[in-house]
Structures are given as structure tokens and as C-alpha cells.
Structure 1
Amino acid sequence: MIRSVVIVGGGTAGWMTASYLKAAFAHQIDVTLVESAQVSRIGVGEATFSTVRHFFDYLGLDEADWLPKCGGGYKLGIRFENWSKPGEHFYHPFERLRVVDGFSLADWWLELGDRDVPFDRSCFITSALCEANRSPRMLDGSLFASGLDGTLGRSTLAEQRAQFPYAYHFDADEVARYLADYAMRLGVKRVVDNVQHVQTDARGWITHVRTEGSGDLSGDLFVDCTGFRSLLINQTLGMKFQSFTDVLPNNRAVALRVPREEATDMSPYTTATAMNAGWMWTIPLFQRNGNGYVYSDEFISPEEAEAELRNAVAPGRDDLPVNHIRMRIGRNENSWVNNCVAIGLSSGFVEPLESTGIFFIQHAIEQLVKHFPDERWDPKQTEAYNTRVAHAIDGVKEFLVLHYKAAQRDDTPYWKEAKVREMPHGLAEKLDLAESRLLDEETIYPYFHGFESYSWNAMNLGLGHLPKQATPALKHLDPANALAEFARVKAEADEMVAALPSCFEYLASINK
């Protein structure tokens, strides 16, 4: 039996792992987490997937309790600004496309849609809620989308059936602190100390980590949550890291926390704004915004990127400190080696676009529980874990490269390079197919990676990468039902905009 787990590194990855393992296995395993008081954290405000609710529900944590304690806000989707032309924007929402007579509303929009009304406004309710800064919940706490509320209990990403309409923005450091308190109440042992040495045996398996003041910490299974340092899996065990910089050029970021002049001016979405040499995120938290510029230092220096960011979001506020971040883009060839599992940045990272960092952590933790070893250390279990983690990261990589290839920008050296840079195997075929028809579940990346076909189509259509013509079959069908559905989308959107409180108004009601 595996009785003890030692997690090296705190932050979001470490404390998500500790709390989940303890919630899953209770007293059956001992969990120790060692973190240094001296290691700075990356977290500067995080955006998430809607599927993160599985994590919090699994732990039995109520949104109305934890979200206010973490400076949280709602995320109905991502608003992409200036990716096609300056001044233009579109939404990638958490909303599946409706189907009319066997064809998606996006297919019908290509055949019937008013091109003066963009695709996302015609086919999704969420776009209107974003434009009006609406909360997804009424003041009584009820969800605007009927039938989707209620807790999920002990469910995982694999049980996701309906598309939940929102995710969260939160202060990552506050979430780590909140989960640390939760985990320690469940019995997780916290050691605040510096790891000086990682000891392995003759087989290359980790036996213990030596700390500066707390001695040796021994365990059966070790989890590497040391971020980009990858102290255990790379530095100690020598696992090969596969870089993605051949297809994803961004390798740095500069982040800035900006107080909002009007706290009530709070958007329920992440904004991704195309910049000269990358893109800028805006993540609205309850009292401030988190901003950051993700860029390639092939095309702009850190000093120039900081100046461009400050000029965009905080002109004249040179007193606001910034955080410069070097990003390691890619993944380990295997994220589980011997008795060590890497979770979070130590496993892999593709850049912040589409907010996949927390998703990767959650997916890895769930897969660890599903493939948790015993004393036999069955290599088939380890292999299955590594395959699923690799597939998820590789699928997101392919989806992100699509953003740059399909974008219409070509006005700077950075964006010109994006058009000619290499593509992951298979993406060129998908982009070629998307010139003739919309993608479906059989033509997107084939393994689980968190994004459904509606996401791939929302990005292609939003970025202006449209099929040359609509599906020919639609010319033989009566369009009445489709036209009625377009009208229904607009009517429902108008009704919800009128009925729902603002994002800030609702969050203020639970921040008491």
C-alpha cells in the first residue's frame, strides 16, 4: 500500500493537489507539503475553465464561501480584441452551439446570417451578457441557465455532460491560502522550509527530501509542484523536456495589478488583446484588474514590453510594481517517472492564452487519483497517466497555434512571423478542412484536451477564418426553424440582460 505522499512546492498546484488527495483518500494516506517561505509565486490573478467547478464541488466547498475570500469574479468567456482588425472584438463563450434540424446554428449562420451581426452575437446568448457586464446569477443566487445549477458532488472532468455557463477569476495566491487552510483541517502536514537536497536510491527512485531546518521528509510517492524549476522531475530525475517554442513563440510575460477607478465597472470575462509582439490579458477581480503582456523576446525587450503594458492599462502609474516572468513553454516527455509525479508548471505549460494552467493542474490531479499506485507500481498505470496528460497538453498546444494562424493580423514582424511559423502535426489539415466546412468532434484534436468543437469553430469564425461557402445541404432545407432559433437567441439574450444584476452588484451581495 502507498501510505505517504510528499508534495514539494506550495502555490496553487501544491495546495490543489494536497487538498484533493486528502478529500479523496482521507486517513488512508498521509500527505505532507513542504514549501519555502522564500520562493515567490507566479500567481498574479488567474482565469479558469468552467470545469473547475468539479474541483470545488469534489472538495465540498461552496462558491459563496470561497469566492469572496479569493477576490473572485465571474468569467463567461474570453473577449478577443484586435486579433483581426484594430477595434474589432468577438467572444469565445462557455456555451455550446444550438442545433436546428441536424445542423449547428453556426452552419445556419453561414447560410442565412446577417453578416452585419457578428457570428458570436447571432449564435450565443453569452455575448450579450458579456457586453452588458451581467452576472450569471440572480440576486437570489439562482443561475440564469435553468437545469444546470446544483452541486456536482464527487464528479470529475470525465463526467462533464452539460456545458456550465461560467468559470472564475481569482487571486491565485489567495486560493492557495484558502486551500492550505482547508487541507490542513483535513490533516495535511505543512512544512515551511527550504529543500536542500533530493535523495534517490540505486534505482533512481526518490527516498526523501532533505530540508534546511526540518530534517529528512520521506514518502512513498513524491509530487513535484516546484513550478518552472522542476526540482524533482527534471533537475533530480533528468526527465527530458519537450519545448513548444517551434510553434508557440511567446516565452515571457510581464504582469501588473491595476486598481479600477470605478470598482463597479467589472466585466464578467477575460480580455485577450492583441499587441505589437504578443497579447495582453485583463482579468477583472472584485476590487482590481490583473493585467499582463505575454510576448516573444525575439520581437520586443522586457523593458519595451513593460512600457507598452503600462501605457495600455496604467499610464502615469509608474508606482505600480510589475512582475517579469520567464515562461518555459512545452511539457515533459513523461510527467510521472518512477515514484515522482509532476503537476502544474513543473509538468508542462503552453502560455496563458485560453486560461489552461488551472485546468492542467485539475486534470493531472484527477488522473493521479484514477491511476493511484499500490506497492506493485504497475508500469501500465504510469504509462496510461503519462499518455492522458500528454494528450491534454498537446491538444491545447494545437488549439492555441490555431489562434495565431487564423488571426488576420499581419501588421508587425511578430504577426507576420506567426503566419509562417511551423504548425503541430495535423493542424494544417484541420485549417484546410475549415475552409470548406465547420469542424466537428471527429475532425478536431481527437483526445481529451478540454475544448469541444464549438470552441474551435468559435475561434475560426471569430478570427475571420470562414468556410468559402455554407454547407450545400442547407439549400435543400426549410430555413424557418433556423430563423426562429436566431430570433429566440436574441429574445432570450434581451430577457436575461434585463433581468440579471451586474457582475459587480451580485458579487458585492456575497462579499459581506
Structure 2
Amino acid sequence: MSDRVENVTIVGGGTAGWLTAMIINTFINTFREGPAVKVTLIESPKIPTVGVGEATVAGMPSLMQQLGIDEAELFRRCNASFKVSVRFGDWAVDGRGKPFAFYHPFNFPGTVGGYNPAYHFNRFGPYGGDPSITDNMTANSALIHARKGPRALNGENYEKSIGYAYHLDAGLFGEFMRDVALSRGVQHIRDDVVEVFQDETGAVSGLQLEKGGRHPVEFVVDCTGFKSLIMKEVLKEPFISYGDYLLNDRAIPVQLPHRDPTKIEPCTRSTALGAGWVWRVPLYSRVGTGYVFSSAFRSDDEARDEFFRHLRAVGDLPTGAPDPDVKVIKMRIGRSQRFWVKNCVAIGLSNGFIEPLEATAIYSVEMAARWLVGHFPDKKGSPALANRYNGLMTSLYEEIRDFISTHYHTSNRPDPFWKAARYDCRLSESLQERLELWKARLPEITDTQDQKLFNFWNYLYVLHPKGFFKDRHFPLEGSIRHEHWQAFGRRLEERKAELLRTMPDHYQLLANIRGDEPLQQALNLDGLAKPVFESRASVRPTISVPTA
């Protein structure tokens, strides 16, 4: 008889709960010999389901493919679009004090003459006219400027010419995962947990449901969002704040119609403002945007006014349109001290949250669920499994925290918030060591080989545009040849030209995948296609940042 856990109870739905259910059910039961592990999700009918975010990272398509998801159906059900990069606008200023933009793409170049081509770029400069490191390494920004998609029309699911992630409606994504999970045997109970029972060891033994009575628990996953019903309120696990590393603690999210629904950028925008930054995520059906800011530098009203001025300046909120009705969300930045305690694992916002600058929320849910499967518990409650799991999750949170800290620490904006982020915020010892090392040589694979998400190229893409390596010269540059760099540049330009010639318009590609009839560019955009800004009271915000 197996000593493995045979019943898993998930408390809480939304993206965190249903994606966790999908991962556990798919990866444990698909080819399991013998009875399937029973997965039951208990979801309150009184709490509205809201998502953790609307942008994802490059590994998301692989997860969806492994889960057996029809990608075209994902696009239809979640109003998804493609994301091939993040555009960081105004995160630094040039020598004349003028803000500029740079890209953080999903693709990385190979070697040039056996060496990291960042050395060639640092020594010889651009091979062509564009001065940015990303344009000299990848084709991503070229596709973004032309609003091209990463796949040919009528291509197969998950087919790609360059790497991509998704923009998606997080609420609809949670519903999509729910429907697929239910079709594959996950049990769903719509009821409220009113009491949590513990045995003599402190482990969770059962849940008292408002209508359904007592529900026995063998192993439980807490996906109850910031409330953290089991991990925090019952098991009393301490919370470790990251407030001394990252200043932002508020968000103002809102949904807006497209300025032109036929022009959809295949990238997320992150634009720095005076006390934080604004995200812009273009879905097929609308735009999700919001201001992440620090309450130490802006009151709620000041932040709201600054955000609306920005929206009007970029045209997302036309002059004369009413101000959207928005809600200011408080964010608890940090993590649970442990993620697995007794027979409970917390996943999603119940275990922590880091501001969504690099769209890591859904990825964190994915990895938490993957690692739970990889360390699936036995009935004895092996401490070795829990200890290893807690170590992995701690290192993931610290990796994400440190990469986001790098964005702020290397900004040279003169605003008080940005100076405080640069000089007053704490840096981990490991990040300090890496930044000091990279003054002597460029980042390389050995510096980030223990990291799960952000490798040395991610750091290069963020550090180089900000002048971190300016006027620095490295001994390895004596080993590289200019002709190799020029040859690499010619091949990349040929690749860009091929992609620009063969890849379709992003909007047309999305319509093709969805099976929609594309709107014609020449169409009079009255009615459906024209953005309609309703009265202040009728515009509903999407709470897609702080809760799962």
C-alpha cells in the first residue's frame, strides 16, 4: 500500500487555486498506475475571483503545452495577446538629463567567435546604427516597432519564430483553468470555510464548511490570497517583509478600451513616474494599466492625479474623457517565512507577493505547484521534503526580489523616490557581490547558474542601457575580433528583415488564431471598434495586482 498522500484539498480558487489544481492533477495523475490522487478545490461563493496579473514570462507557453491546453482556445477564452519583450520607458536619463527607453526581450544571442557578444558590443559599439544592446543582439524590438507577431498566419499551436509569453485576462484565465480542471476530474466545492481543525501535532485535520459540514484533510494547499486563512491565521507562520528592499506598497489598476483595436503592441510597457511606475498590458479586447507607487512619496490622491495625467499624456485616456473610477490597493510586499508547514503548503498571495515589475506572479504559482509535485508528500510528513521545498521557494523569492532591486538601484532618475530607491534601500549581499564583480568583468553564465528565472543576459539587458558598463574595459576584450562582430551583425539584420517580411501584423495574427474576422484598417471605427469612455461610475477597475 502506498504511503503517498492520496487526497489533496485546495482552499481558494482564482488563478493560484485552479492553476495549482491543474498542475497537481496533470503531472501526478496522467500516467499514474493505480487510483488517482483526488484533488478537491473549495472555493467561496461569496468572494469575487480576481487574478494575480495580466502579463506572463517566457516559460508560460511551455507550461500550457505540458498541461495539454489548446493554445488557440487559450487566446479565445482569455482575450490573450503575444508578449515578446518589456519596454522600460523613462527608467533612466541620458547625459543631457533626457529620459529614454530600453527593452528587456525574451531572446538571447549565441556566442560570437566563441565569446559572449556583449564583450564585442562593449568594445566595438553597435555594428549598425542603433545604439541599444537589445537591437544589436535580438530581433525582438524590430518586431515590436512594426507591431508584428511571433508566428506565421495559420501556424500550429505553440509554433514560434522568436520566444514569447502571453498577455491575458487573469480573471478569465482562472475560469479557463477551472473548466479544464473540472473536465479532467478535479472536484469542486462552492462553500465557505468557517473553521480549521488541527490534530495533536498541529497539522490540519479538517475544515468546517458553512453548508457542507466537516471536510477531512490529508494535505491542504492554501490559495486564499493575502488573507492566508490557513498558513497565517491558523498555523501562525511569520511574514518576512521586503519593505527595506522595495519601496512600492500601493497600486491603482484600471481597464481601458484600446485607442485603436487593430494596433496591439506585442510587448508590455513599464513607464517610470515620479514615485513608481505604470504598467500597460494590451490584451486583444482592452488595455490593462495601473500605477504601482510608494505611499511614502505620494498620497492616494496625488498618485491618482499623477496616473491620470500620464494616461492623458500618452493618449490612453483622451482629453475630456471622464476620470475612471479606481481603487487604491494596498500591497503587502514580502513572503511567508516558510511555505510548507506541517501538512499545508501556501501558494500564490497566501505565501507572499513582490511587485509585478517583471510579471512573476503567475510564474511563482507555477513553480510552487511544480515543486510541490516534485516533492509530493508522504503520509509520514517527511521533514526533508518540506525543508527542500522551503529552500527552493525562498531562493526563488530572493532571486525575483534581487532582480527587481537591480532595476531601481541602477536608475539615475533625480526624483526623491528614485534617489531613495537607489541609495536608501537594502541590497542583498549576493546582489552586492555580483554588482561589484560586474565592474571587473561582464556577467556570465556562472554568475546566475543557480537561478531559476533571470540569467546573466537578463542582467545585461537591464544594466547596459543604464550605463553600468560605460567606460569600463575588460581583459577578455583582447580575445575578440571585429570581423566576427560585423558578421554577427549582418546575420542578425538578415534575420530581422526575414521576420519583418514574413511575420503578420500582431492584431491580424490574433484574429486568425481566434477565428475572428479582422477589422479592416480602412473601416470607420464607430461603434464596436471605437474606444468608448463611459461615465466615471460605469468604468470598473480590474484588481489584478494584489490578490489571487
Count of residues paired in the alignment: 494
Match for residue 116 of structure 2? 104
Preserved contact between residue 115 and residue 480 of structure 2 (Cα < 8 Å): no
After TM superposition, the structure 1 stretch with the greater mean CA deviation from structure 2, 5-14 or 36-45, is 36-45
Distance 1:199 1:309 in 2: 46
Moved more, 81-90 or 2-11: 81-90
The within-5 A match list for 1:290-329 is 290-313=288-311, 314-315=317-318, 316-318=320-322, 320-329=324-333
TM-score by length of 2: 0.87
Aligned residue for 1:49?
Answer: 57
Distance in 1 between the 2:41 and 2:325 partners? 30
**SS at the partner of 1:493?**
helix
Measure, in 2, the Cα distance between the counterparts of 1:197 and 1:125.
55
User: Distance between the aligned counterparts of 1:242 and 1:44, measured in 2?
Assistant: 20
1:430 maps to 2:415: no
Counterpart of 2:101 (choices 89, 112, 121) is: 89
Which of 242, 247, 251 matches 1:253? 251
Counterpart selection for 2:144 from 130, 154, 170: 130
Q: Does 1:209 align with 2:213?
A: no
Distance (Å, rounded) in 2 between the aligned partners of 1:232 and 1:396: 25
- Give the SS at the match of 1:310: helix
CA deviation map 1:426-474 (0-9, x unaligned): 2222222222321112224x53331111001110012322253243333
Mapped partners of 1:320, 1:389: distance in 2 = 38
CA shift at 1:476, angstroms?
4.6
Distance (whole Å) between structure 2 residues aligned to residue 467 and residue 149 of structure 1: 38
1:371 aligns with 2:379: no
**Contact persistence 1:50–1:164 (CA under 8 A):** no
Report the counterpart of residue 73 of structure 1 in structure 2.
Answer: 81
Q: Which range is displaced more, 163-172 or 127-136?
A: 163-172
Task: Give the C-alpha shift of residue 52 in structure 1.
Answer: 1.3
One-letter amino acid matched to 2:395: H
SS at match of 1:271: strand
CA contact (8 A) 1:79 1:272 kept: yes
Matched, 1:24 2:32: no
**Partner residue, 2:541:** none
Q: Is the 8 A contact 1:139 1:501 kept in 2?
A: yes
Distance 1:415 1:402 in 2: 12
Q: What code does the residue aligned with 2:490 have?
A: A
**Could you tell me how far apart the structure 1 residues matched to 2:48 and 2:470 are?**
47
Moved more, 297-306 or 242-251: 297-306
Residue 153 of structure 2 is matched in structure 1 by 139
Distance 1:55 1:83, change over 3 A: same
Paired with 1:396 and 1:48, the residues of 2 have a C-alpha distance of 14
Partner Cα separation in structure 2 for residue 119 and residue 24 of structure 1:
39
Residue 369 of structure 1, CA deviation = 0.3
2:168 and 2:385 map into 1 onto residues whose CA distance is: 34
In structure 2, relative to structure 1, the CA distance for the partners of 1:204 and 1:44 (3 Å cut) is closer
Give the whole-Å Cα distance in 2 for the aligned partners of 1:325 and 1:38.
20
Provide Cα deviations, 1:69-124, integer angstroms capped at 9, x if missing partner.
Answer: 10101110100000012541111001112211222221111111238521111121
RMSD (CA atoms)? 1.9
Distance 1:477 1:246, change over 3 A: closer
Residue 193 in 1 paired to residue 191 in 2?
Answer: yes
CA displacement at 1:424 relative to structure 2: 1.4
State yes or no: 1:462 paired with 2:465. Answer: yes
**CA, structure 1 residues 317+341, in 2 after alignment: closer, same or farther (shift >3 Å)?**
farther
Listed as ranges, the matches of 1:232-311 within 5 Å are 232-311=230-309
Residue 61 of structure 1 is matched in structure 2 by 69
SS at match of 1:180: helix
Q: Secondary structure at the match of 2:305?
A: helix
Amino acid at match of 1:96: F
Q: Which residue of 1 aligns with 2:528?
A: none
Report the CA distance shift for 1:108/1:183 in structure 2 as closer, same or farther (over 3 A).
Answer: same
Matched AA of 2:108: R
Would you say the 8 A contact 1:44–1:290 is kept in 2?
no
Q: Could you say what secondary structure the match of 1:216 adopts?
A: strand
1:221 equivalent among 214, 219, 222? 219
Residue identity in the other structure for 1:135 = G
- C-alpha deviation, 1:303, in angstroms: 2.1
Cα 1:329/1:449, change in 2 over 3 Å: farther
SS of 2:413's equivalent in the other structure is coil
SS at match of 1:409: coil
Q: How many percent of aligned residue pairs carry the same amino acid?
A: 34
Cα pair 2:252 2:329 within 8 Å, conserved: yes
Among 389, 393, 397, the residue aligned to 2:393: 389
5+ residue gaps in structure 1? 151-162
